[in-house]
Amino acid sequence: MKALITGASSGLGKDFAKILSGMGYDLILVARRTERLQDLKDILTTQIEIKTLDLSDYQNCIKLYDEVKEQQIDILINNAGFGLLGKFFETSLDREMQMIDVNIKAVHILTKLFLRDFMNRDSGYILNISSSASFFSGPLMSTYYATKNYVTRLTEAIYKELQVVRSNVYIGVFCPGPIATEFNQVAQVKENLKSLNSEKAANYAIHQMFCRKFLIIPGFMNKCLYLFRNFIPNALLLAITYRIQKKKEGKK
Ligand X SMILES: NC(=O)c1ccc[n+]([C@@H]2O[C@H](COP(=O)([O-])OP(=O)(O)OC[C@H]3O[C@@H](n4cnc5c(N)ncnc54)[C@H](OP(=O)(O)O)[C@@H]3O)[C@@H](O)[C@H]2O)c1
Q: Does 65 bind ligand X (CB under 6 A)?
A: no
Q: Does 179 bind ligand X (CB under 6 A)?
A: yes
Residue closer to ligand X by CB (options 10, 143) is: 10
Q: Strand 26-31 vs strand 48-52: parallel, antiparallel, or unpaired?
A: parallel
Residue closer to ligand X by CB (options 149, 167) is: 149
Instruction: Count CB atoms within 10 A of the CB of residue 101.
Output: 19
State whether the Cα torsion 107-109-115-117 is positive or negative: negative
C-alpha gyration radius of the chain? 18
**Footprint on residues 74-133 left by ligand X (CB under 6 A):** 79-82, 102, 129, 131
220: alpha, beta or left? (left if phi > 0; alpha if psi -120 to 50): alpha
d(C-alpha 100, C-alpha 35), whole Å: 25
Which of 25, 125, 144, 170 is catalytic? The answer is: 144
Q: Are 78 and 85 in contact (CB under 8 A)?
A: no
Residue closer to ligand X by CB (options 46, 52) is: 52
Contacts of 197 (CB under 8 A, 6+ apart): 179, 180
Q: Does 186 bind ligand X (CB under 6 A)?
A: yes
3-state DSSP: the chain helix, strand, coil percent, rounded to 5? 50, 15, 35
Q: Does 181 bind ligand X (CB under 6 A)?
A: yes
Given 3, 4, 5, 9, the residue binding ligand X (CB under 6 A): 9
Q: Does 218 bind ligand X (CB under 6 A)?
A: no
Residue closer to ligand X by CB (options 167, 176) is: 176
d(C-alpha 163, C-alpha 113), whole Å: 19
**Footprint on residues 33-52 left by ligand X (CB under 6 A):** 33, 36
Interface pattern 147-176 for ligand X (x via CB under 6 A) = -----------------------------x
State yes or no: is 58 an active-site residue.
no
Residue closer to ligand X by CB (options 141, 167) is: 141
Q: Which residues bind ligand X (CB under 6 A)?
A: 7-13, 31-33, 36, 54-56, 79-82, 102, 129, 131, 176, 178-179, 181-183, 186
Catalytic residue numbers? 144
